[in-house]
Amino acid sequence: MGVLRSVVLAGGGTGGHIYPLLAFADCLRRHFPEVRITTLGSPKGMENELIPPAGYDLRVIPAFQLPRALNLDLLRTPDRMYKSAHAAGKVIDEVEADVVVGFGGYVSVPAYLAAWRRELPIVVHEVNVPPGVANRMGMKFTKNIAVGFPHQPQLAESLRDARVVGVPLRTAITGLDRPALRPEALAHFGLRPDLPVLFVSGGSSGARTINLAVAGAAKKLSHAGVQVLHVQGGRNDPFDVPSDLPVPYVVVPYLSDMQLGYAAADLMLCRGGAITVAETTALGLPAIYVPYPYSNQEQRRNAGPVVEAGGGLLVDNAELSPDWVERTVIPLARDPQRLAAMGTAASAYGRRDGDEALLDFVCQAVAGR
Ligand SMILES: CC(=O)N[C@H]1[C@@H](OP(=O)(O)OP(=O)(O)OC[C@H]2O[C@@H](n3ccc(=O)[nH]c3=O)[C@H](O)[C@@H]2O)O[C@H](CO)[C@@H](O)[C@@H]1O
């Protein structure tokens, strides 16, 4: 592994782009304690809440929104894009970057453009199929494409030559021993050790359909002895849960210590965001996936292979209702043997070394420049 002196990481918008960036930054720091790490973000994305507290230098550059479809008009409507690329370039020059690694989100595009103009190595890390529009643009400037899951190169022409590296996950998650942390996690949330826990999360922004369906089944869950730990999601409206339930139903707005939720859980109900899928499988946590229906089917593709491998269930967003929760989730949550079998299958699909594998790939890209 060669030496890296200065690395620019670009990615923003939602947690799905930012957490892998942070996990990769931590890995870089472990291997190269002296490396200068600079991140590029946009003014309004979650990076502003997540990156500075993690101790990394965040440079905010002017935002511009890409159209969902990628076409050359982009290059002909340049004002805002050039302004952003110019700002990205100034940062790249100032920190004398060796390489730009992008994780997707609009803010990656100016970083890719500026790096390309300077003939700097670019690495694109993509976790979705089809790849997001920002990374599709990045792929026009580099052959160094890394993906999160083994099935992805077969599903998209642009990913055909991509290296499968997995998803960089935070060490709080890769280092998690769920049974060991479980007592502390249960106590933290005020949950009982003698009853199963359903952990509900709609991804980094939350999911209204999930919130309403599970909260609507609160009474049935509770009377069946299933406890609930429910993350409302940072950008979601509050919902009502009856206050006189016989077993705990705990609602939290957002979990910055997500590992505590995973440690408390026996079963998860979640969207199929790529990082969430990478985490549940790395941890061997059985999950019911409810893919977000409005984004290119990417979440269905993320969760599908795990479910085929036996690591969980998949339900359409339109089918998820309090009734469905009662009929399907309650019996599963009360069946430890089935949960254990699903957990083993999930675990066989998951991996915990995505950060190291991506670092290896980045070092090769820099060495081969
Ligand atoms: C609606 C949409 O377009 N979603 C996309 C978005 O999802 P989203 O931003 O929700 O990302 P993921 O589900 O992939 O990851 C969520 C991340 O947030 C963390 N977390 C979540 C809740 C919480 O309270 N605390 C916490 O730390 C999770 O542990 C995980 O690390 O980006 C993903 C990765 O590009 C895509 O696959 C998803 O399709």
The count of structural domains within the chain is 2
Considering only 87-91, 118-122, 204-208, which range has the smallest mean pLDDT?
Answer: 204-208
In a domain, 334, yes or no: yes
Query: Which of 98-107, 188-197, 292-301 bottoms out in mean pLDDT, i.e. has the lowest?
Result: 292-301
Distance 232 CA to ligand 1 centre (A): 13
Q: Which atom of ligand 1 is nearest to the CA of 233?
A: 24
276, 292, 306, best to mutate for ligand 1 pocket (most atoms within 8 Å of CB): 276
211 and 274: one domain? yes
The range of the structural domain enclosing residue 309 comes to: 172-349
How are strands ordered across the β-sheet holding 122-126?
Answer: 57-60, 36-41, 6-10, 99-102, 122-126, 145-147, 163-164
15 is in an annotated binding site: yes
Residue 203 lies in a domain: yes
Distance CA 327, CA 331 (A): 7
Q: Which of 209, 211, 206 is CA-nearest to residue 239?
A: 211
Do residue 222 and residue 211 come from a single domain?
yes
pLDDT at 202: 93
Tell me the average pLDDT of the chain: 93
Q: Is the pLDDT of residue 272 over 60?
A: yes
Q: Which atom of ligand 1 is nearest to the CA of 254?
A: 24
pLDDT at residue 14, rounded to an integer: 84
Which of residues 73 and 89 earns the better pLDDT score? 89
Ligand 1, residue 46: give the atom nearest the CA: 9
The arithmetic mean of pLDDT across residues 118-122, rounded, is: 97
Residues 21 and 115 in one domain: yes
Say if residue 285 is in the same domain as residue 362. Answer: no
Quick one: DSSP state of residue 297? T
Q: Which protein residue has the closest C-alpha to ligand 1 atom 21?
A: 204
Q: What digits encode the pLDDT tens for the residues 27-58?
A: 999 999 999 999 999 998 899 999 999 999 99
What is the CATH number for 83? 3.40.50.2000
Query: Ligand 1 pocket by C-beta < 6 Å: which residues?
Result: 14-17, 19, 127-128, 201, 203-205, 231, 254-255, 258, 271, 273-276, 279, 292, 295, 298-299, 302
User: Can you tell me which atom of ligand 1 is nearest the CA of 205?
Assistant: 10
* Residue minimizing CA distance to atom 18 of ligand 1: 204
- Which atom of ligand 1 lies closest to the CA of 278? 14
- 205 Cβ contact partners less than 8 Å away, ≥ 6 residues apart: 14, 15, 233, 234, 235, 236
Q: Whose CA is nearest to atom 28 of ligand 1?
A: 276
Centre of ligand 1 to C-alpha 123, Å, is 21
In a domain, 165, yes or no: yes
Q: Establish whether this prediction's ipTM goes over 0.90.
A: yes
pLDDT surpasses 90 at 253: yes
Please indicate, yes or no, whether residues 269 and 362 belong to a single structural domain of this protein: no
Angle ∠(161,357,290) on CA atoms, nearest 5:
75
> Which of 262, 275, 297, 300, when mutated, tests ligand 1's pocket best, judged by the most ligand atoms within 8 Å of its CB?
275
Note whether 82 and 183 are same-domain residues: no
Write out pLDDT tens, residues 64-84: 766 656 555 555 556 778 899
- Paired residues of 132 in beta bridges: none
Distances in whole angstroms, Cα of residue 189 to Cα of each of 64, 199, 272, 281: 40, 12, 24, 23
Does the pLDDT of residue 369 top 70, yes or no?
Answer: no
pLDDT in tens, 128-168: 999 988 999 999 999 999 999 999 999 999 999 999 999 99
Give a yes or no: residue 361 inside a domain.
Answer: yes
State phi, psi for 70 to the nearest 5 degrees: -100, 120
Say whether pLDDT at 294 is over 90.
no
Question: Quick one: tokens of 127?
Answer: 């976790």
- In this predicted structure, what is the pLDDT of residue 63? 77
Amino acid 3: pLDDT: 80
Do 253 and 331 lie in one domain? The reply is: yes
200 with 164, same domain: the answer is no
In this structure, the answer to whether residues 176 and 137 fall within a common structural domain is no
Q: Indicate if 12 and 158 belong to the same structural domain.
A: yes
- Which atom of ligand 1 is nearest to 16's Cα? 11
Residues in contact with 259: Cβ distance below 8 Å, sequence separation at least 6, in sequence order: 170, 172, 173, 176, 181
Mark whether 67 and 127 lie in a shared domain: yes
At residue 363 the predicted structure's pLDDT band, cuts being 50, 70 and 90, is very high
Does residue 1 belong to any structural domain of this protein? no
Is the model's pLDDT at 297 over the cut of 90? no
Same domain, 357 and 325: no
Tell which one of 204, 230, 268, 355 to mutate to probe ligand 1, the residue whose CB is within 8 A of the most ligand atoms. Answer: 204
